[in-house]
């Protein structure tokens, strides 16, 4: 059985960080071996309790393991409780949020077993928890179930609480192309210093939707390096990718891309040729505008 850190420090379960720090100082003065001849074991327990409760992520994980939870209120069926078409679905989400983050393990379990409609409703509920749940949700990005990884990443993207860049890079090799697309969106939105270099490796992905998402993300990031990576899409085997790459180059405004666009002016697909001509025209206008 785990120790009750709240009882050890003499604070309530809903104590604020200030209350916890104040209680720790009082207990440390009372039990420190060098001050009042206290016991070393007691002081080590106090240090352990304070280290856990003072860190928001560790405190959340501790609460999930220790504090009692009696299950979800209302109907036992998850498909009935997490139904976005129910009139009181919003109130149900808010009620669960008030109950605390201890629901998260059960929500993850429901994600693994639920139907798509239920999973989207649970994702909305996870988003309601906000940034407080982000640190805990990131632990489920390595879950064995593809559905869990996808909806957790979807929730983190909607929260705007992206995992560290190194975690996102690891997910770029995920077997699910849907997860790879969500990782691309996360890298683009987080704007990490090496985001473009990480996206470059997906320009040769076997799934066309992934390559299109990379071009969209690079266009959003902008810059000469992004334009250089997008140029690789001009020789893609799919005409749609070549067309989107040409359009993106026209929007980026890098005049150095004109020589690459000229290579596809005689493309076998007329839509690609038109996109290339429009991009070259746009870049020439920009070049003329900035040179005057």
**150 domain-assigned:** yes
Q: Are 160 and 189 in contact (CB under 8 A)?
A: yes
In sequence order, the 6+-apart residues with CB closer than 8 A to the CB of 105 are 64
| pLDDT (tens digit per residue) in 100-150 | 566 677 778 878 877 777 788 788 778 877 777 787 888 888 888 899 999
Return all residues near 190 (Cβ < 8 A) that are at least 6 apart: 162, 165, 168
Quick one: pLDDT at residue 111?
A: 82
226: nearest Cα among 255, 192, 254, 262? 254
Both 212 and 270 in one domain: the answer is yes
DSSP string of 8-52, one letter each residue: HHT--TT--HHHHHHHHHHHHHHH-HHHH---HHHHHHHHHHHHH
Answer yes or no: is pLDDT of 13 > 70: yes
Cα dihedral 140/145/148/152 (nearest 10): 40
Quote the pTM value.
0.65
Question: Do 24 and 112 reside in the same domain of the chain?
Answer: no
Q: In this structure, are 157 and 244 located in the same domain?
A: no
Write down which residue in 16, 43, 66 finishes a domain: 66
Residue 169, in any domain of the structure: no
Q: What is the DSSP letter of 76?
A: S
Q: Mean pLDDT: which of 36-40, 87-91, 110-114, 220-224 is highest?
A: 220-224
Query: 271 near 263, Cβ under 8 Å?
Result: no
pLDDT value, residue 261: 92
**What total of structural domains would you count in the chain?**
3
By residue count, the chain amounts to 292
CATH code of residue 269: 1.25.10.10
Residues 6+ apart with CB under 8 A from 154: 123, 182
Is 82 in the same domain as 103? Answer: yes
Clarify whether residues 59 and 10 are in a common domain.
yes
Domain identity same for 11 and 78: no
Range of the domain at 61: 5-66
Which runs of consecutive H residues, i.e. helices, occur in 114-238?
Answer: 116-129, 131-137, 146-159, 165-171, 177-190, 195-200, 208-221, 224-230
Residue 182 above 80 pLDDT? Answer: yes
| Domain stops at, among 20, 46, 66 | 66
- Report which of 145, 196, 146 is spatially closest to residue 169, judged by C-alpha positions: 196
- Is the model's pLDDT at 71 over the cut of 60? no
On whether both 149 and 61 belong to a single domain, the answer is no
Distance of CA 99 to the CA centre of its chain: 24
More confident residue, 96 or 225: 225
Domain assignment present for residue 184? The answer is no
Q: What's the mean pLDDT in 231-249?
A: 92
- For residues 277 and 218, what is the distance between their CA atoms, to the nearest angstrom? 21
Other CB atoms within 10 Å distance of the CB of residue 40:
10
Domain co-membership, 54 together with 118 = no
Residue 13 lies in a domain: yes
For the chain, what is the mean pLDDT?
Answer: 81
- Domain final residue pick, 161, 181, 211: 161
In this prediction, residue 163 carries a pLDDT of 83
Give residue 44's pLDDT.
Answer: 87
What's the confidence (pLDDT) of residue 242?
94
Residue 182 lies in a domain: no
pLDDT above 80 (res 291):
no
Confidence at residue 206, expressed as pLDDT on a 0 to 100 scale: 92
Note whether residue 269 is domain-resident.
Answer: yes
Q: Could you tell me if 25 and 52 lie in one domain?
A: yes
Instruction: Please check whether residues 199 and 288 belong to one and the same domain.
Output: yes
Q: What is the mean pLDDT of residues 216-232?
A: 91
Regarding whether 95 and 53 lie in a shared domain, the answer is no
pLDDT-derived band at 276 (thresholds 50, 70, 90) equals very high
Q: 292 pLDDT band (50/70/90 cuts)?
A: very low
Neighbours of 130 (CB within 10 A): 12
Determine, yes or no, domain membership for 170: no
Give tens-digit pLDDT for 80-90.
445 555 545 55
In this structure, is residue 285 part of a structural domain? Answer: yes
Asked if the model's pLDDT at residue 264 lies above 50, the reply is yes
Q: Residue 43 is part of a domain; what is its CATH number?
A: 1.10.287.110
- In the three-class reduction of DSSP (H, G, I as helix; E, B as strand; rest coil), residue 26 is classed as helix
| 286 shares its domain with 201 | yes
Q: Tell me the pLDDT band of 169, cut-offs 50, 70 and 90.
A: confident
């Amino acid at each position: 059985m785990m120790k009750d850190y709240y009882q050890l420090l003499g604070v309530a379960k809903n104590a604020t960080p200030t209350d916890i720090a104040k209680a720790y100082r009082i207990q440390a003065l009372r039990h420190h071996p060098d001050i009042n001849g206290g016991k070393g074991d007691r002081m080590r327990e106090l240090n352990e309790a304070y280290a856990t409760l003072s860190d928001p992520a560790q405190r959340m994980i501790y609460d999930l393991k220790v504090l009692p939870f009696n299950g979800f209120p209302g109907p036992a069926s998850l498909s009935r409780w997490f139904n976005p078409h129910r009139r009181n679905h919003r109130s149900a989400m808010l009620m669960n949020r008030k109950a605390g983050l201890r629901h998260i393990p059960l929500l993850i379990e429901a994600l693994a077993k639920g139907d798509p409609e239920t999973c989207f409703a649970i994702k909305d509920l996870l988003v309601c928890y906000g940034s407080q749940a982000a640190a805990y949700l990131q632990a489920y990005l390595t879950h064995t179930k593809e559905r869990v990884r996808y909806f957790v990443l979807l929730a983190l993207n909607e929260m705007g609480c992206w995992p560290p860049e190194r975690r996102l890079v690891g997910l770029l090799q995920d077997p699910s192309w849907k997860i790879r697309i969500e990782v691309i969106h996360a890298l683009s939105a987080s704007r990490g210093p090496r985001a473009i270099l990480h996206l470059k490796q997906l320009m040769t992905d076997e799934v066309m939707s992934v390559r299109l998402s990379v071009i969209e993300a690079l266009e959003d990031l902008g810059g000469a390096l992004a334009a250089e990576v997008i140029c690789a899409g001009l020789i893609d085997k799919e005409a749609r990718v070549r067309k989107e790459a040409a359009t993106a180059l026209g929007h980026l405004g890098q005049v150095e891309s004109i020589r690459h666009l000229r290579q596809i002016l005689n493309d076998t697909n007329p839509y690609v040729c038109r996109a290339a001509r429009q991009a070259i025209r746009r870049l020439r206008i920009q070049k003329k505008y900035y040179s005057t």
